[in-house]
Structure 1
């Protein structure tokens, strides 16, 4: 048994850092609960901050320059998050400690996130706000990368779909509650940031309680060489065909998602010609439908994928559902089509989120660098969030309308489905 899995012998002589089906005869319920709690802790605070409290704090500090400050802050945070994903993921992969590889980093991220969010509620200039948010991005990724690494290290292949669904369940619940919690503190952003920081901090004790990670000291120490840097701190170079297909497949799915979600208000007001009050009602309705679908599919898609012994097939089907959903408003500017979009795409998003991480783990070039490589794969989320609204703006400006946007979003989802279909390593 590897050191990563042992609970009876903290100092085994052989290290693999992976878990096989033979090592794990039963589903790891405790690990799955830890993954769900950890995912909830980081996403609920992040969305409550970035979606509500951060813009509110910017408006308090510099109301005349808030658009420019938000844009600059987004650019800086994207760069910092990219570097942090790779660096912290790689450092987690290489960590040798009596507390394991992942748990110490999650504690660092939990404590640092609490501190940086506390500071964010008290900054008084745009410069210090941007700096504090950048520091928060570093600590946030000190939670995310090791969580994904734990999913890779500690869950056997036959249970990865269900375990990934547990992570997706935490994401789904946190996504639904994040902005709701943040909105309760618009009158006191400092208190709101502190509350979100406390919620994030819970990830540390949760990791210690649920993961009970064994010592990683038996992992062989690696000398600091050129090969170590290339293997652990840069993009994968060998046996990575399926890995990059998964990375770009996910990017195109996120592009389809955020090109619509990022322009939802304008689609409702400019394309469907709704008044702002009605638009707000439909935004709340579609968000609720997508959240409920996501939570429901977290209970269905992963376990079903494990039972069928297929991960790629549910990913491809969910990609096609997303493509169908984003295309529906093309046929009519009636608000009913945006509800149909929410149902179809919501089921697709929920199923995709539930099994995507399981596919990502299955195509890793090297399990020894799992946290780093999964962190890089996670950048497809960031890329899609940025590129989606940019694509929407360019298409709407060039075509003078919204209909082409729905076609291109559907085409993007189909490209993603095709890339996933080309993956060879996974059924």
Structure 2
């Protein structure tokens, strides 16, 4: 029986909650944490930041899986979301009070536990609520999240409006404002048909097909995320290698423009995939477009063509990641393990940040950014081919 569609207001509230998750970590990890480390460590800030980021990524990976399992077994996601919201908000403010690197590392690791107590069950809750025929629309709405995270970073660093000592308080407040409405107004919107175990006969008959689809979805996202992590970390360095005077504000503006342009396109493409019953085709097409953008970047010697290539990659990659999150819920084998399985998919977000620096160190000093972007293009093309081989499920 086809599950009942969710109303638009619930889609919007869920998208805002996902945006709240991005607001919780984007300003901290991209701006506020590096500033805090510099104030504590001075010239040793780069190595200290690497240490904090490394341990934080490991804890985030484990915590997301653990709380996904916990929400599966408890049979209720919302209490975990609320507990994670409270814990992560308190610990976020506490990070600003750290007095040395040891305290800072411990607080960031604890904050990652609280954050993933909220995020893991939140993503799994989407699978409990939104039917397959609405997952493209959900994925399009989720594209708001990275844009909201970037805008929040700009807001809290606007000194005429927010004092430096109040930044983390403001971030915590914004997260609560964005996440709380869906937990209050969206209670009991789960669909029984989406939470019922799949019949064993059906599960066994399609086990090989399901396992293959899950593996392809996982590896495809992992490959694209390596390229995303590389561009996130080294975009400014690359642009300055082409134009030494390129200002950081210009790079930030390009990054923000890409995220903002991705939102309406994601909504249109996601809605199209729902109407035509083609959930995987847009993912494969976006991965291929991302590969094309990276190929242009690899071949570029001038700034204009290079930026054009990045815009193609950035928009395609953002659409891909937003739609992929929602469509992943379609291929998971059993609803009773949805939180756990999405926790393992979350590794595609954290592990690339650990892999990418080694690729950069191996390639850029000897061969320049051209070789790095050529590798990223090959990985994205591989993702497109993996997705193209997934058998369509009706």
Q: Give TM-score, length-normalised by structure 1.
A: 0.83
Distance 2:140 2:300 in 1: 34
Render the CA deviation track for 1:83-106: whole Å, top value 9, x for unaligned: 10110000011114xxxx111011
Over 3 Å counting, the alpha-carbon distance change for 1:30 and 1:102 in structure 2 is: farther
**Which residue number corresponds to residue 213 of structure 2?**
242
Mapping of residues 329-340 of structure 1, within 5 Å: 329-340=297-308
Query: After the TM superposition, which parts of structure 1 deviate over 6 Å for at least 4 consecutive aligned residues?
Result: none
Aligned 1:5-404 pairs, distance under 5 A: 21=2, 23-24=3-4, 26-96=5-75, 101-169=76-144, 171-184=145-158, 188-213=163-188, 239-270=210-241, 272-275=242-245, 278-399=246-367, 401-404=368-371
Alpha-carbon distance in structure 1 between the residues aligned to 2:251 and 2:60: 29
| Alpha-carbon spacing, 1:47–1:204, altered in 2? closer, same or farther (3 Å) | closer
User: 1:177/1:362 Cα in 2 relative to 1: closer, same or farther (>3 Å)?
Assistant: same
SS of 1:311's equivalent? coil
Q: Which is worse superposed, 379-388 or 45-54?
A: 379-388
Deviation at 1:320, TM superposition (A): 0.6
- Correspondence for 2:200: none
Instruction: Report Cα offsets for 1:125-155 as digits up to 9, x if no partner.
Output: 1111111111110111112111111111111
Cα RMSD, aligned residues only: 2.6
Question: For 2:314 and 2:212, how far apart are their aligned partners in 1?
Answer: 29
Could you list the per-position Cα deviations for residues 361-409 of structure 1 after superposition, in whole angstroms to 9, with x for gaps in the alignment? Answer: 111121211112112112201122332343223211232x222122111
**How far off is 1:32 after superposition?**
0.9
Please, what TM-score do these two structures have when normalized by structure 2? 0.89
Deviations 1:111-136 (A, max 9, x none): 11111011111111111111111111
Task: Specify the SS of the correspondent of 2:143.
Answer: helix
CA gap of 1:215–1:323, structure 2 versus 1, over 3 A, is closer
Give secondary structure in 2 for the equivalent of 1:60.
helix
Q: CA deviation at 1:269?
A: 1.8
Q: 1:188 to 1:58 in 2, by over 3 A?
A: farther
Q: CA separation in 1, counterparts of 2:361 and 2:305?
A: 21
Q: Is the 8 A contact 1:30 1:211 kept in 2?
A: no
> What SS does structure 2 have at the residue aligned with 1:402?
helix
Distance, in Å, in 2 between the alignment partners of 1:153 and 1:350 is 24
Q: Structure 1's 281 and 62: CA in aligned 2 closer, same or farther, altered over 3 A?
A: closer
Aligned residue-pair number: 381
Distance in 2 of aligned mates of 1:285 and 1:215? 39
TM-superposition CA deviations, 1:198-220 (whole Å, max 9, x none): 2222355223233213699xxx9
**1:42–1:144 CA contact under 8 A, matched in 2:** yes
Measure the CA separation in 1 of the matches of 2:172 and 2:237: 32
